[in-house]
Amino acid sequence: MSPSKAETRRPARLVDRIVHTLGPWGMFLKGFVKHPVMVGSIIPSSDTLINHMLSKVDWDKVDLFVEYGPGVGTFCRPVLERLRGDAALIAIDTNPDFIDYLKRDIADSRFHPVLGSAADVEAIIRAHGFDHADQILSGLPFSTLPPGVGPAIAAATHRALRPGGTFLVYQFRKRARDFLEPHFGQIDDGFEWWNAPPCYLFWATRTGSDSEDQA
């Protein structure tokens, strides 16, 4: 006997109720359950990690800040708090549920959530009227992305940044550095214990004399 409509709908409603009760955490968990490889983590970033990662940014010099993989906006809000009134934040995510959630949840004229891939960052920033980004932040799970995607994103990011601009990366594995080294002339690193799980931080700067800038 096939289940009635009410019976088939019950599990979805239960999931929706749990997601609603947990707020952004529930939304993030739902994203992880649907796309574990793309989301790569079960818990959003901690405040300590956010403050550590953003500590080196000179906000007076930021016209355009780009974020890859914003999820439920854990970094978007702290970035908007620090961003100048006439600057912009473009947040790019491949997950339509996260982008819909961000559009509903953050009302700020400086904020532009975009459904797309970080690999297309150059076209996305051009479509918003910018030539280059000043800072690009990534919460992407580089080491679990499909083959070729991580290197393509690192190369596109180098081209999308202005000389002197920085790629800010937080990752659970040190291997993220392997994606940065072919492109960026200067890479500073750090580590943050106060996050679940603890993670590596990288600040990779387009120096203007990197090998690709000389070609």
Residues that bind ligand SAM in the complex, under the rule CB under 6 A: 38-41, 44-45, 68-71, 74-75, 92-95, 98, 117-119, 139-141, 145, 149
The nearer residue to ligand SAM, 11 or 94, going by C-beta atoms, is 94
164 torsion bin: left (phi>0), alpha (psi -120 to 50), beta (else): left
The nearer residue to ligand SAM, 39 or 154, going by C-beta atoms, is 39
116: helix, strand or coil: coil
CB of 108 to ligand SAM, least distance (A): 17
214: helix, strand or coil: helix
The nearer residue to ligand SAM, 87 or 140, going by C-beta atoms, is 140
CB of 105 to ligand SAM, least distance (A): 14
148 torsion bin: left (phi>0), alpha (psi -120 to 50), beta (else): left
CB of 157 to ligand SAM, least distance (A): 11
Q: Which two tokens stand for residue 194?
A: 């106060």
CB of 44 to ligand SAM, least distance (A): 3
Q: Are the beta carbons of 90 and 127 closer than 8 angstroms?
A: no
The nearer residue to ligand SAM, 80 or 149, going by C-beta atoms, is 149
71 torsion bin: left (phi>0), alpha (psi -120 to 50), beta (else): left
CB of 200 to ligand SAM, least distance (A): 13
The nearer residue to ligand SAM, 118 or 125, going by C-beta atoms, is 118
- Which residue number has the CB closest to ligand SAM? 69
